[in-house]
């Protein structure tokens, strides 16, 4: 964040309200993804959502008269690299959604603040300190409890959101080190373009390779070909495109309104929302291991944020 942004008056209540609303909206988006993961492939969703989201975002920028120079900044090498990291995060996250509860996927993904801390120490030279070390230990303990490796409850799919959390941390480091002066609309547009490109490229690759056999039959969401898009599917894709833009606006607004160290702690409200949707929509109640693992991961993230605030 630039020094000018740091000197602005803080609207704590507004920032907290925006980040909680963003977490709620993200949880709605994830429910939509999970409900429709059997209808369309992951790559089809990313490609078609991007096709809808790019003109919607340009129209919004034009109305707000903030479109000048946005495309050039969006296609800068560091903006694109950051977008590749974020796209990999979302792909890993959404690839695991059909096979795991939202609570498990969300908790595994929220190990990201610990990864941010470790990468900051390595790449930027920030000391870890006792709070940071305790956060790392609690975070990995939470992951072990949550995933239960070596037991029948373990699912290899749960590794994906943890990998995604690592790329999310890389995106944070890239943003802090190389994209501090890049306009937020440019970063949002860059991210939308890269997600669209990822969906198109992998879809064409699968069309060329035509995966066959048990894997293609067992995992059509990831390895299948495009399905016919009904008008109801277009409505869902339009909803997802709109949600992506709204989420980006709320996240940006939240971090502009109040100190990041404070706002980041309220991002964990996402875990409460997805736990509620697991119960109400999917009929899944989190077990003791999931609850314990989530608590440990949340504590680890809060300790990591506390160390950064200090």
pLDDT tens digits, residue range 168-189?
778 877 776 777 777 878 888 8
The tokens for 14 are 């507004």
pLDDT of residue 5: 43
Structure confidence at residue 292 as a pLDDT band (50, 70, 90): confident
Q: Is residue 244 part of a domain?
A: yes
By residue range, what is the domain housing residue 176? 3-125+153-283
pLDDT of residue 124: 52
Q: Is residue 144 part of a domain?
A: no
Tell me which of 81-95, 158-172, 243-257 is least confident.
243-257
Q: Is residue 44 part of a domain?
A: yes
Q: Is residue 130 part of a domain?
A: no
| Residue count of the chain | 310
pLDDT of residue 216: 67
Q: Is residue 302 part of a domain?
A: no
Q: Is the pLDDT of residue 156 over 70?
A: yes
Q: Is residue 230 part of a domain?
A: yes
Number of domains in the chain: 1
Q: Is residue 248 part of a domain?
A: yes
pLDDT of residue 99: 82
pLDDT of residue 4: 44
Residue 198 CA, chain-centre distance (Å), reads: 15
List, in order, residues 6 or more apart from 115 with CB less than 8 Å away. Answer: 165, 166, 168, 169
pLDDT tens digits, residue range 220-275?
778 888 888 888 899 999 999 999 888 877 776 776 676 555 566 677 778 778 88
Is residue 255 a contact partner of residue 9, using CB atoms and an 8 Å limit? Answer: no
Average pLDDT, the chain: 77
pLDDT of residue 123: 60
Q: Is residue 9 part of a domain?
A: yes
């Amino acid at each position: 964040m630039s020094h000018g942004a740091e000197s602005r008056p803080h609207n704590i209540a507004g920032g907290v309200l925006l980040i909680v609303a963003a977490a709620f909206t993200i949880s709605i988006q994830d429910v939509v993804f999970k409900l429709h993961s059997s209808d369309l492939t992951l790559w089809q969703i990313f490609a078609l959502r991007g096709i809808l989201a790019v003109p919607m975002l340009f129209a919004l920028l034009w109305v707000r008269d903030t479109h000048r120079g946005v495309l050039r900044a969006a296609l800068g090498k560091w903006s694109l690299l950051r977008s590749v990291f974020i796209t990999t995060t979302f792909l890993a996250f959404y690839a695991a959604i059909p096979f795991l509860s939202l609570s498990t996927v969300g908790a595994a993904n929220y190990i990201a603040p610990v990864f941010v801390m470790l990468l900051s120490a390595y790449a930027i030279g920030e000391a870890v300190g006792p709070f940071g070390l305790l956060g790392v230990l609690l975070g990995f303990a939470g992951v072990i409890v949550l995933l239960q490796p070596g037991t029948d409850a373990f699912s290899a799919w749960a590794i994906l959101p943890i990998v995604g959390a690592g790329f999310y941390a890389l995106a944070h480091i890239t943003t802090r080190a190389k994209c501090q002066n890049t306009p937020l609309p440019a970063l949002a547009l860059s991210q939308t373009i890269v997600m669209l490109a990822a969906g198109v490229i992998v879809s064409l690759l699968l069309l060329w390779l035509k995966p066959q056999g048990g894997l293609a039959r067992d995992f059509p969401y990831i390895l299948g070909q495009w399905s016919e898009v009904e008008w109801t599917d277009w409505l869902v894709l339009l909803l997802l495109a709109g949600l992506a833009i709204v989420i980006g606006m709320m996240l940006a607004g939240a971090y502009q309104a109040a100190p990041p160290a404070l706002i980041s702690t309220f991002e964990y409200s996402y875990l409460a929302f997805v736990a509620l949707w697991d119960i109400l929509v999917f009929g899944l109640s989190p077990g003791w291991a999931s609850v314990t693992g989530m608590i440990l991961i949340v504590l680890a993230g809060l300790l990591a944020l506390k160390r950064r605030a200090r």
